[in-house]
């Protein structure tokens, strides 16, 4: 009891342990309870903030810790928006983004200015500042679209790009109006602002990328990489503030820069999403709730009138902007709802603008009472706008995102056959690169597991020594951990066999594997390139085989360059490997460059149009019969080379493929590359039902040859006697 009396339970609570405990329990139970009545978890967190905040039961005050975590959460939302956006779609939809950004800014701004001046009776300066608040929006509901996996939908791309436009224009108007109320603002101030913004953009987009690439090449520790990403985000945000623009713009730009370095199926991406959605973003939403004072409803007719005008104009104009965009670009109704839902939430930027206007004093009354640019009624009305707009945004986005996710899943599950990927891992160093490649080759929306295989030589584990089996288990445990970090399932397989090739081939048959990944052995050279294991696998397995040699982390590569042989379209695996390469390009955010003869490039181009490939694809005519040194000049240091190969005596086999070991060893020694053997029609001896090791097979063939030779000699003697 002595310890309890020493604790301070007076309200609001000040003990940091109690405060953090309450916030964590809110983050835990608010979504669970409200999910039962079909209320989005975002609303639950905001309502919880209202209840425990200073305008509710006053359990917690919006102190520096709440402000700190809330600021981090807001920046995190903008960072995730830039990180998860599809850059190819972003570039492709630049005109649409500009249209929606200007529409969702100008409509609220123009109508809001007129309504504020003629209905509320404010001056033009006050009306313009209030209307600029209508124009902004905060991506409060972005975690919902992320949860349903529709962040790469066209509508989401437009809203994320539009957020950048509206916030920049609104903050520019804020700076102009704030400057107009001061007497000491000169043209030099605007010149300095412009130059600082140019310097900020140059640092973010030209200095940061090489530094990020260098760091990821040098350090592969997961904790170091995550801390580096966070440091980059907040440094970018600080540089934005130093340049005179809002920190959220810096966070968004850092997400765009890091986008190409963090694959969406990677463990790092999973950690970024996990920490943000578990801690930082909920803190921000609870902090927004603490700002809401529902008592303003009973503070008089004038407060209700201002709040009504603000809410109706802000929400209605956002819907009209989304409706116009839908009609102009022929979008679906669900996409319009997504546009409206994501762009209608007002929070951080809105509050920042209103607080600046509230703190600007333009005069005083005869009684000495200060006259503010925006009065207390506007401040209270804005607080109610935050509550209503976030509620509407959450409900609309929840319904639209769920329906879009459902409609996108149906065609994939109905048409695609089940794919199984097998990864054969030779050593501990190859675990991460091999599993990462397998994850990017796997269809992103499918939950099919990946099989990780270790083959143990029977002869090596004799006399009670099981070192090989123990080492194999350690390798597979590492693969399981690496896969679980991305919320993917890795099924471990330890197989005992006379040699590695047998174990891999029989596992492929038993598990009905569609794609096999093996690593190029460490001592590959011009004489012994694939090694005996890979050669036996290729002889006895006619399915898809990827032979991978990683020379640098996958997320530091910039292009995928693929050489395609003539008649590749005649092979059974043509469509499959094309889908795999486009999936790899999309997952890694890299453009895909095909090199080959005109005929095969035309086939690939038609296929890309028919399949609606979402990766950026380029085509370059190239004669494969020419010296490889000519092609090697096309390669850049950070390219991933993919050679579409073929087994001998098949339709697409070309003579230059026999010189592949010498060419790759001589000209591509420092490059990461994949040699892809597609599914082909088996020729020659049928190996399907042979259940013997290669050594036993050779002995059998030798015995047969010996029997035939002996029979020949006997027959020869009989003929001589006759």
> Does residue 56 lie within any of the structural domains?
yes
- pLDDT per position as a tens digit, 408-423: 654 444 444 678 899 9
Given a cut of 90, is residue 340 above it in pLDDT?
yes
Sign of the C-alpha dihedral computed for residues 48, 53, 59 and 64 taken in this order: positive
Give the tens place of pLDDT for each residue, 174-217. 767 766 666 556 677 778 878 888 999 999 999 999 999 999 98
In a domain, 101, yes or no: yes
Indicate if 369 and 439 belong to the same structural domain. Answer: no
Q: Per-residue pLDDT averaged across 548-572, rounded?
A: 90
Q: Is residue 36 part of a domain?
A: yes
What's the confidence (pLDDT) of residue 695?
Answer: 47
3-state secondary structure of 263: coil
Residue 716 belongs to some domain of the structure: no
**Residue with structure tokens 């994939």?**
412
Residue 665 banded pLDDT, cuts 50, 70, 90: confident
Same domain, 527 and 621: yes
Q: Which domain holds residue 193?
A: 15-407
**pTM of the predicted protein model:** 0.73
Q: Within a domain: residue 692?
A: no
Tell which of 362, 389, 407 closes a domain: 407
Residues 234 and 292 in one domain: yes
Whether the predicted pLDDT of 654 surpasses 80: yes
Beta bridge partners of 493: 453
Does 392 share its domain with 439?
no
Residue 712 in contact with residue 609, Cβ under 8 Å?
no
Q: Are residues 381 and 440 in the same domain?
A: no
Q: What tens digit of pLDDT does each residue of 574-588 get?
A: 999 999 998 888 888
Q: Residue 670 is part of a domain; what is its CATH number?
A: 3.40.50.12370
Domain boundary among 641, 658, 677: 677
State both tokens at 648.
């001998």
CATH of the domain at 123: 1.20.1530.20
Q: How many domains does the chain divide into?
A: 2
Residues 220 and 357 in one domain: yes
The residue from 677, 692, 712 where one domain ends is 677
Is the CB of residue 625 less than 8 Å from the CB of residue 595?
no
Q: Is residue 383 part of a domain?
A: yes
Average pLDDT over residues 636-665: 87
Candidate from 12-26, 191-205, 356-370, 698-712 with smallest mean pLDDT: 698-712
365 and 440: one domain? no
DSSP-assigned beta bridge partners for residue 544: 515
Write the CA distances from 576 to 512, 543, 545, 580, 611, integer angstroms.
16, 11, 12, 6, 12
Kindly report the average pLDDT of the chain as a whole number: 81
Kindly tell me the burial class for residue 106, based on how many C-beta atoms sit within 10 Å of its own C-beta (0-12, 13-18, 19 or more).
middle
**In this structure, are residues 421 and 442 in contact, taking their beta carbons and an 8 Å threshold?**
yes
Look at residue 718 and tell me whether its pLDDT is greater than 70.
Answer: no
pLDDT for position 562: 93
Query: Is residue 90 located within the same domain as residue 215?
Result: yes
Q: Between vectors from CA 539 to CA 533 and to CA 540, what angle results, nearest 5°?
A: 90
| pLDDT tens figures, 594-622 | 999 899 999 999 988 887 777 788 999 98
**Element (H or E) spanning 110, and its range?**
helix 94-118
Q: What is the pLDDT of residues 506-543, one digit of tens each?
A: 899 888 899 999 988 666 655 667 778 888 888 888 88
400 and 531 share a domain? no
Both 440 and 400 in a single domain?
Answer: no
Q: What angle do CA 651, 656, 657 make, to 5 degrees?
A: 65
Confidence of residue 664 (pLDDT cuts 50, 70, 90): confident
In a domain, 272, yes or no: yes
Summarised one tens digit per residue, pLDDT across range 686-711 is 444 444 444 444 444 444 444 444 44
**pLDDT above 80 (res 492):** yes
For 67-95, what is the mean pLDDT?
A: 82
pLDDT in tens, 429-466: 888 889 989 988 887 666 778 999 988 877 655 544 56
Does residue 237 form part of some domain?
A: yes
Are residue 396 and residue 517 in the same domain, yes or no? no
198 and 114 fall within a common domain? yes
Which tokens go with 99?
A: 């249209």
């Amino acid at each position: 009891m002595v310890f309890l009396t020493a604790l301070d339970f007076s309200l609001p609570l000040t003990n940091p342990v109690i405060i953090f405990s309450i916030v964590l329990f809110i983050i835990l139970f608010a979504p669970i309870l409200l999910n039962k009545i079909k209320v989005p978890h975002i609303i639950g967190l905001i309502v919880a903030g209202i209840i425990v905040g200073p305008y509710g039961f006053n359990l917690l005050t919006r102190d520096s810790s709440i402000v700190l975590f809330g600021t981090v959460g807001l920046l995190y939302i903008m960072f995730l928006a830039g990180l998860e956006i599809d850059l190819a779609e972003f570039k492709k939809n630049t005109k649409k983004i500009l249209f929606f950004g200007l529409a969702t800014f100008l409509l609220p701004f123009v109508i809001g200015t007129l309504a504020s001046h003629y209905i509320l009776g404010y001056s033009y300066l006050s009306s313009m500042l209030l209307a600029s608040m209508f124009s902004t929006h905060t991506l409060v509901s972005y975690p919902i679209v992320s949860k349903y996996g529709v962040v790469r939908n066209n509508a989401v791309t437009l809203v994320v790009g539009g957020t950048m436009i509206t916030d920049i224009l609104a903050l520019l108007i804020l700076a102009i109006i704030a400057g107009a109320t001061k007497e000491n603002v000169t043209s030099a101030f605007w010149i300095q602002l412009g130059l600082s913004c140019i310097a900020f953009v140059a640092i973010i987009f030209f200095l940061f990328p090489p530094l990020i690439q260098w760091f990821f090449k040098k350090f592969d520790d997961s904790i170091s990489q995550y801390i580096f990403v966070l440091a980059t985000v907040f440094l970018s945000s600080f540089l934005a503030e130093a340049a005179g623009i809002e920190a959220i713009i810096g966070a968004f730009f850092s997400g765009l820069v890091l986008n190409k370095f963090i694959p969406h199926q990677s463990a790092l991406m999973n950690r970024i999403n996990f920490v943000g959605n578990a801690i930082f973003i909920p803190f921000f939403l609870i902090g927004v709730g603490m700002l809401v004072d529902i008592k303003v409803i009973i503070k008089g007719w004038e407060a209700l009138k201002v709040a009504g005008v603000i809410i109706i104009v802000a929400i209605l104009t956002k819907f009209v902007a989304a409706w116009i965009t839908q009609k102009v670009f022929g979008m679906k109704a669900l996409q319009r709802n997504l546009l409206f839902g994501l762009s209608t939430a007002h929070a951080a930027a809105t509050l920042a603008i209103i607080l600046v206007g509230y703190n600007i004093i333009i005069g005083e009354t005869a009684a000495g009472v200060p006259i503010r640019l925006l009065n207390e009624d506007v401040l209270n009305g804005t607080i109610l706008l935050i509550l209503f707009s976030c509620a509407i945004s959450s409900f609309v986005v929840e319904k639209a995102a769920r329906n879009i996710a459902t409609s996108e899943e149906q065609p994939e599950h109905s048409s695609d056959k089940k794919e199984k990927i097998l990864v054969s891992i030779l050593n501990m160093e190859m675990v991460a690169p091999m599993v990462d490649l397998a994850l990017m080759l796997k269809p992103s929306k499918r939950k099919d597991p990946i099989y990780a295989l270790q083959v143990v030589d029977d002869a090596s584990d004799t006399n009670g020594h099981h070192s090989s089996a123990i080492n194999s288990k350690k390798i597979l445990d590492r693969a399981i951990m690496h896969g679980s970090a991305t919320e993917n399932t890795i099924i471990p397989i330890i197989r005992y066999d006379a040699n590695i090739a047998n174990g891999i081939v029989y596992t492929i048959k038993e598990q009905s594997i569609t794609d096999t990944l093996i690593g190029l052995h460490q001592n590959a050279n011009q004489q012994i390139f694939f090694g005996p294991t890979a050669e036996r696998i290729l002889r006895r397995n006619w399915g898809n085989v990827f032979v991978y040699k990683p020379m640098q982390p996958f997320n530091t590569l910039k292009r995928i360059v693929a050489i395609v042989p003539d008649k590749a379209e005649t092979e059974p695996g043509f469509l499959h490997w094309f889908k795999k390469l486009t999936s790899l390009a999309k997952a890694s955010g890299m453009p895909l460059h095909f090199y080959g003869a005109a005929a095969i490039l035309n086939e690939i181009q038609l296929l890309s149009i028919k399949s609606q490939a979402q990766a950026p694809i380029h085509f370059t005519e190239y004669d494969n019969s020419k010296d490889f040194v000519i092609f090697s000049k096309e390669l850049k240091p950070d390219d991933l080379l993919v050679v579409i190969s073929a087994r001998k005596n098949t339709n697409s086999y070309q003579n230059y493929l026999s010189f592949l070991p010498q060419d790759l060893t001589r000209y591509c020694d420092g490059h990461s590359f994949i040699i892809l053997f597609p599914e082909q029609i088996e020729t020659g001896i049928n190996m399907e039902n042979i259940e013997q090791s290669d050594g036993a097979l050779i002995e059998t063939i030798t015995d047969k040859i010996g029997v035939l030779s002996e029979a020949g000699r006997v027959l020869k003697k009989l003929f001589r006697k006759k």
